[in-house]
Amino acid sequence: MTVPADLTHEDYGGHHGPRKGLLRWVTTTNHKDIGTLYLWFSLIMLFVGGAMAMIIRAELFQPGLQLVNPDFFNQMTTMHALVMIFGAVMPAFVGLANWMIPLMIGAPDMALPRLNNWSFWILPFAGTLLLSSLFVEGGAPAGGWTMYPPLVLQTGAAFPMLIFSVHLLGISSIMGSINIIATIMNLRAPGMGYMKMPLFVWTWFITAFLLIATMPVLAGAVTMLLTDKYFGTSFFNAAGGGDPVMFQHIFWFFGHPEVYILILPAFGIASQIIPTFARKPLFGYKSMVYATASIAVLSFIVWSHHMFTVGLPVGAELFFMVSTMLIAIPTGVKVFNWVATMWRGSMTFETPMLFAIGFIVLFTIGGFSGLMLAIAPADFQYQDSYFVVAHFHYVLVPGAVFSIMAASYYWLPKWTGHMYDEKLGKLHFWLSAIFVNLVFFPQHFLGLAGMPRRIPDYAVQFADFNMISSIGAMGFGLSQLLFAYIVIKTVRGGAKASDEVWEGAQGLEWTLSSPPPYHSFSVQPVIR
Amino acid sequence: MERRTIVAGSLPMLLTPLTALADWELNMPRGVTDLSAEIYGLHMLTLWICVGIGIIVFGAMAYSISHHRKDKGHKAATFHESTTAEIIWTIIPAIILVSLAIPAAQALIKIEDASNADLTIKVTGYQWKWEYEYPEEGIRFFSSLDSKSREASTLGSGIDPASIDHYLREVDNPVVIPVGRKVRFLFTANDVIHAWWVPDLAIKKDAIPGFVNDMWAKVNQPGVYRGQCAELCGKDHGFMPIKVIALEDADYQQWVAEQKQQAAAASAASDREWSRDELLTQGQKVFTASCAACHQATGLGIPGVFPALKGSKIATGDLNAHIGIVLHGKTGTTMQAFGKQLSDADIAAVITYERNAFGNNMGDIVQPAAVKAARQ
Ligand SMILES: [Cu+2]
| B87 and A CB contact within 8 Å | no
Name the strand (E) or helix (H) holding B119: strand B119-126
Query: How confident is the model at residue A486, as a pLDDT?
Result: 96
Per-residue pLDDT band for A5 (boundaries 50, 70, 90) equals: very low
Report how far ligand 1's centroid is from the alpha carbon of A463 (Å).
22
Contact assignment for B86 to A287 by CB distance below 8 Å = yes
| A325 and B CB contact within 8 Å | yes
CA distance B213 to B233: 17
Name the minimum distance, in Å, from the CA of B55 to any CA of chain A: 11
For A408-432, how does the pLDDT look when each residue is reduced to its tens digit (9 = 90+)?
Answer: 999 999 999 999 999 999 999 999 9
pLDDT at A493 over 90: no
For B177-220, how does the pLDDT look when each residue is reduced to its tens digit (9 = 90+)?
Answer: 999 999 999 999 998 999 999 999 999 999 999 999 999 999 99
Residues A307-335 as b/e (b if ≥16 CB within 10 A, e otherwise) read bbbbbbeeeebbbbbbbbbbbbbbbbbbb
CA distance B225 to A225: 38
Query: How confident is the model at residue A7, as a pLDDT?
Result: 44
Q: Count how many residues are written for chain B.
A: 376
Q: Are strands B183-189 and B119-126 parallel, antiparallel or unpaired?
A: parallel
Query: How confident is the model at residue B3, as a pLDDT?
Result: 39
Q: Does the bond joining A515 to the residue before it have cis omega, within 30 degrees of 0?
A: yes
For residue B184, the cross-strand partners are B120, B216
Mean pLDDT of chain B: 87
pLDDT at A519 over 90: no
Per-residue pLDDT band for A60 (boundaries 50, 70, 90) equals: very high
The percentage of chain A sitting over the pLDDT mark of 90, rounded to a whole number, equals 83
For A211-266, how does the pLDDT look when each residue is reduced to its tens digit (9 = 90+)?
Answer: 999 999 999 999 999 999 999 899 999 888 899 999 999 999 999 999 999 999 99
Which residues does chain A have within 8 Å of residue B123's beta carbon, measured at their own beta carbons? none
Q: Which DSSP string do the residues of B35-55 spell out, in sequence order? A: HHHHHHHHHHHHHHHHHHHHH
For residue B130, the cross-strand partners are B125, B143
pLDDT at A393 over 60: yes
Query: How confident is the model at residue B7, as a pLDDT?
Result: 39
CA distance B167 to B153: 9
Contact assignment for A372 to B50 by CB distance below 8 Å = yes
CA distance A458 to A442: 15
Report how far ligand 1's centroid is from the alpha carbon of A451 (Å).
14
Q: State the Cα angle at B211 between B28 and B214, rounded to 5°.
A: 40
Q: Which of residues 103 through 162 in chain A touch B, CB cutoff 8 A?
A: 137-139, 142-144, 148, 150-151, 153-154, 156
The answer to whether residue A145 is catalytic is: yes
CA distance B21 to B7: 15
Q: Tell me the whole-structure pTM to 2 decimals.
A: 0.88
Mean pLDDT of chain A: 92
Per-residue pLDDT band for B19 (boundaries 50, 70, 90) equals: very low
| Mutate: best of A324, A327, A372, partner B, most B CBs <10 A | A372
CA distance B287 to B305: 18
Report how far ligand 1's centroid is from the alpha carbon of B228 (Å).
8
The answer to whether residue A173 is catalytic is: yes
CA distance B227 to B168: 10
Per-residue pLDDT band for A178 (boundaries 50, 70, 90) equals: very high
pLDDT at B274 over 90: no
Which residues does chain A have within 8 Å of residue B20's beta carbon, measured at their own beta carbons? 460-461, 463-464
Which residues does chain B have within 8 Å of residue A375's beta carbon, measured at their own beta carbons? 42-43, 46, 100, 104
Q: Count how many residues are written for chain A.
A: 528
B302 or A160: whose pLDDT is higher? A160
Which residues does chain B have within 8 Å of residue A454's beta carbon, measured at their own beta carbons? 232, 237-238
CA distance B76 to A49: 42
| Across A377-392, average pLDDT | 95
Nearest CA in chain A to B155: A65
Report how far ligand 1's centroid is from the alpha carbon of B193 (Å).
7
CA distance A363 to B335: 44
Q: Which of residues 13 through 32 in chain B touch A, CB cutoff 8 A?
A: 13, 16, 19-21, 23-29
Smallest Cα–Cα separation from B279: which of B290, B267, B287? B287
CA distance A432 to A486: 14
Contact predicate A422/A350, CB 8 Å: yes
Cα–chain center distance at A317: 28
Q: In what order do the strands lie in the sheet with B119-126?
A: B139-143, B129-134, B119-126, B183-189, B213-217
| Across A96-120, average pLDDT | 93
Q: Let me know how many helices (H) and strands (E) chain A has, helices first.
A: 17, 0
Q: Which of residues 208 through 237 in chain B touch A, CB cutoff 8 A?
A: 208-211, 213-214, 227-237
For residue A410, the cross-strand partners are none
In order of A347, A356, B62, B72, the CA distances from B67 in angstroms are 9, 18, 9, 7
pLDDT at B15 over 90: no
Torsion of CA A221, A226, A229, A234, to 10 degrees: -40
Flag whether the ipTM exceeds 0.90.
Answer: no
Query: How confident is the model at residue A398, as a pLDDT?
Result: 94
Query: How confident is the model at residue A182, as a pLDDT?
Result: 96
pLDDT at A401 over 50: yes
For B65-119, how does the pLDDT look when each residue is reduced to its tens digit (9 = 90+)?
Answer: 999 998 888 888 888 888 888 899 899 999 999 999 999 999 999 999 988 899 9
| Across A396-412, average pLDDT | 95
Report how far ligand 1's centroid is from the alpha carbon of B239 (Å).
8
Nearest CA in chain B to A325: B97
Question: What are the structural domains of chain B?
Answer: 34-70+81-112 (1.10.287.90), 119-268 (2.60.40.420), 271-375 (1.10.760.10)
Min mean pLDDT across A200-209, A461-470, B13-22 is at B13-22
Smallest Cα–Cα separation from A153: which of A239, A211, A91? A239
CA distance A475 to A484: 15
| B57 and A CB contact within 8 Å | yes
Contact assignment for B208 to A311 by CB distance below 8 Å = yes
Strand, coil or helix: B218: coil
Q: Which of A38, A99, A204, A260 is an active site residue?
A: A260
Query: How confident is the model at residue B9, as a pLDDT?
Result: 39
DSSP-derived letter for residue B288 is I
Name the minimum distance, in Å, from the CA of A306 to any CA of chain B: 12
pLDDT at B13 over 50: no
For A72-101, how does the pLDDT look when each residue is reduced to its tens digit (9 = 90+)?
Answer: 999 999 999 999 999 999 999 999 999 999
Q: Which of residues 135 through 194 in chain B touch A, CB cutoff 8 A?
A: 152-157, 159-162, 166-169, 187, 191-193
For B305-338, how does the pLDDT look when each residue is reduced to its tens digit (9 = 90+)?
Answer: 788 998 888 888 888 889 999 999 887 778 888 8
pLDDT at A10 over 70: no
Contact assignment for A368 to B54 by CB distance below 8 Å = yes
The answer to whether residue A286 is catalytic is: no
Query: How confident is the model at residue B268, as a pLDDT?
Result: 81
Give the CA count within 13 Å in the CB-facing half-sphere of A368: 24
Contact assignment for B156 to A66 by CB distance below 8 Å = yes
Using CB atoms within 10 Å of the CB of residue B84, give its burial: 0 to 12 exposed, 13 to 18 middle, 19+ buried: exposed
Contact assignment for B192 to A154 by CB distance below 8 Å = yes
DSSP-derived letter for residue B32 is S
> Phi and psi for A274 in degrees, rounded to 5?
-60, -50
Q: Which of residues 259 through 278 in chain B touch A, CB cutoff 8 A?
A: none
Q: State the Cα angle at A213 between A41 and A155, rounded to 5°.
A: 60
